[in-house]
Structure 1
Amino acid sequence: MQRFVKIFGQQTCKVIGMIHVDALPGTPRYTGNWKQTIEKAIYEANLYKKHQLDAVLIENMHDIPYIPERLLGPEIVACMTRLGQAVREVIPKETPCGVQVLACGNKQALAIAKASQLQFIRSEGFVFGHVADEGYTDACAGDLLRYRKLIDAEDVLIFTDLKKKHSSHAITADVSLLETAHAAEFFLTDGIIITGTATGHAASPEDLQQLSGRVKVPLLIGSGVTKENIASYYKQAQAVIIGSHFKRNGSWLEEISEQAVEDFMRQIRELRQGFE
């Protein structure tokens, strides 16, 4: 928890805004709009800055269909590093910025964070193997933390998904959510992310309650948070990651809606005043 507090501060329930960058060069949906991709990321970063979000997370969400980590090309790392630098230049230095590379590009994310001076990454497949829609994902904690040491990036926090969304967990069905959380904690995660079963699907408040007070690392909600349900997470979660809810019609495929961001942050301010 100390590593989290050092970067994010003490206040309960930090709001991390997602920047879903456009499809990158070399991926099926790329349309030759690289300059526009950078400008759009900068626009969204400025919008989050304007509405005083607590942190920002960039992700290559539009690079569908995703491929396993071993197939990710150097162009993805290069482009995400450029985007990370662009966002970092906009966001105040005291505001944490992070990166996620799909699918399971955790080493790549660490390298990007190191080069772009970002403060955290979101990692999939940290503990236990599972079958995702892009194929089999093996546990990576031991290799990933050794790589973090190797590149002198130990100041970069690693937040880890439990029972990754868009995945089958039949082979670990006998391992409970709490046991998975304890395994991630034992393997030195800097924070545990709880999600629903798919992008935009709400995480179960019962899952949060099951873990709250039973692990010593921060708990983050990683999908499905809205202004209508934030109150059910607010008191027990150290942070929420918002992507789909900030988009038009609540769809990650749509453009960002400033009104949605403004409405959500107003709700957060009211909750913070109520809990002071």
Structure 2
Amino acid sequence: MKPLIIGMIHLPPLPGSPNSKMSLEELLEYVRSEARVLEEAGVEAAIVENLGDYPFYKDEVPPVTVSVMTLLVREVVKSSSLKVGVNILRNACSQALSVAYVTGAEFIRCNILNGVYATDQGIIEGKGYEILRLRRYLNANVRIYADVHVKHAVPIYSVPIEVAAQDLAERGGADAVIVSGIRSPIPPDIEKVKIVKEAVKDKPVLIGSGISLSNFRDYCKIADGLIVGEADFKVNREIGGRSLKESYEKLVKECREMVR
């Protein structure tokens, strides 16, 4: 079975964030262009993420961020055939779920669904109890893709990754488990991915960091999905910048050929 290729639409700084410069119309044109590039490259899905809003809030973002994210995610849903996901950094998972529900997006990425982590935003506790109840209350058909031993963080409730993955999939209610390296540019060890796949046999396992043009073949063979958005897939290798169609095309083509 071929892995799901998920491109990243990394948003520039949004209104209300420290480095905001673009108007709403400029942001709308930006996401339309990004969706078009990914779609033409053969990518099946995309996550819309407020990467430009650093430094990030821990788990609740201001109303203006939710409003703008809703506008932009809806534009991607309307203007493309991509399966669309939402990630509101650092861990505004309930708000991401609300945006996904309102816009018709299919899934969210939740960095910390359960457990407790020391992060560069401070101590963050998982709110799976809140997010799953919100989804039930809304009767929303939105899937939750959640990280295990998430990047840019150290677990305080420190258990082996296979135990954390089982807790995430069973007690946390994740629909898919994401495995990443310690930072965004760094991929997870292949052995770590295998351990997680063995631990959560009935749930998809996705790669959440470090995919490059030099290593993607290794992960296409083992993972159920790749979240792709590092420097190799950006114009001028600009982190958080515009997507590079040619790189995505190469990855999609070769991954599909490998798993025929």
Q: Distance in 1 between matches of 2:76 and 2:240?
A: 20
Q: Tell me, yes or no, if structure 1 residue 12 matches structure 2 residue 40.
A: no
Which of 203, 207, 226 pairs up with 2:188?
Answer: 203
Instruction: List structure 1 runs of 4+ shifted beyond 6 angstroms.
Output: none
Q: Which residue of 2 aligns with 1:189?
A: 174
Shift of 1:185: 1.3
How far apart are the structure 2 equivalents of 1:237 and 1:12? 9
Q: Which residue of 2 aligns with 1:219?
A: 205
Does residue 103 of structure 1 match 2:90? Answer: yes
Distance 1:69 1:127 in 2: 13
- Counterpart CA distance in 2 for 1:185 and 1:125 is 12
Distance in 1 (alpha carbons) for counterparts of 2:166 and 2:238: 33
Residues 64-79 of structure 1: pairs in structure 2 closer than 5 A? 64-70=54-60, 72-79=61-68
Q: Is the 8 A contact 2:47 2:87 kept in 1?
A: yes
CA contact (8 A) 2:208 2:226 kept: yes
The CA distance in 2 between the partners of 1:254 and 1:106, in whole Å, is: 23
1:249: Cα distance to partner? 4.9
Q: Matched residues in 2 for 1:53 and 1:165: separation?
A: 24
The one-letter amino acid paired with 2:255 is I
Shift of the alpha carbon at 1:24?
0.7
Q: Could you tell me which amino acid in structure 2 is paired with residue 40 of structure 1? A: Y
Whole-angstrom CA distance in 1 between matches of 2:11 and 2:211: 20
- Contact kept, 8 Å, 1:246 with 1:257, in 2: the verdict is yes
Bigger mean CA offset, 142-151 vs 27-36: 27-36
* Identity across matched positions, percent: 27
Alignment-derived partner of residue 71 in structure 2: 82
The higher relative CO (CA closer than 8 Å, separation ≥ 6) is in: 2
The CA RMSD measured in Å over matched residues stands at 1.4
Q: Where does residue 256 of structure 1 map in the other structure?
A: 243
Shift of 1:148: 0.9
| Corresponding residue for residue 61 of structure 1 | 51
Q: How far, CA to CA, are the matches of 2:42 and 2:217 in structure 1?
A: 19
Deviation at 1:25, TM superposition (A): 0.5
Amino acid at match of 1:228: S
Following TM superposition, by how much is the alpha carbon of 1:172 offset from its aligned partner in structure 2, in angstroms? 2.9
Separation in structure 1 between the aligned mates of residue 213 and residue 21 of structure 2, nearest angstrom:
33
For 2:233 and 2:89, locate their aligned partners in 1 and report how far apart those are by CA, in whole Å: 20
Distance in 1 (alpha carbons) for counterparts of 2:193 and 2:111: 18
Q: 1:22 aligns with which of 12, 17, 32?
A: 12
Instruction: Report how many aligned residue pairs link the two structures.
Output: 257
Aligned pair 1:162/2:135, yes or no? Answer: no
Q: What is the distance in 2 between the residues matched to 1:235 and 1:256?
A: 24
The question of 1:177 aligning with 2:161 is answered yes
Contact 1:12 1:237 in 2 (8 A): no
The correspondence for 2:32, drawn from 19, 25, 42, is 42
Q: 2:52 aligns to what SS in structure 1? A: coil
Q: Normalized against structure 1, the TM-score is what?
A: 0.89
Question: Unmatched 5+ residue regions in structure 1?
Answer: 1-10
**Partner letter of residue 125 of structure 1?**
I
When normalised by structure 2's length, the TM-score is 0.94
Contact 1:159 1:190 in 2 (8 A): yes
Cα 1:199/1:184, change in 2 over 3 Å: same
Structure 2 unaligned blocks of 5 or more: none
Say whether the 8 Å CA contact 2:51–2:89 is kept in structure 1: yes
Deviation sequence 1:138-157 (CA, Å, 0-9, x none)? 0211111001111221x100
Contact 1:24 1:60 in 2 (8 A): yes
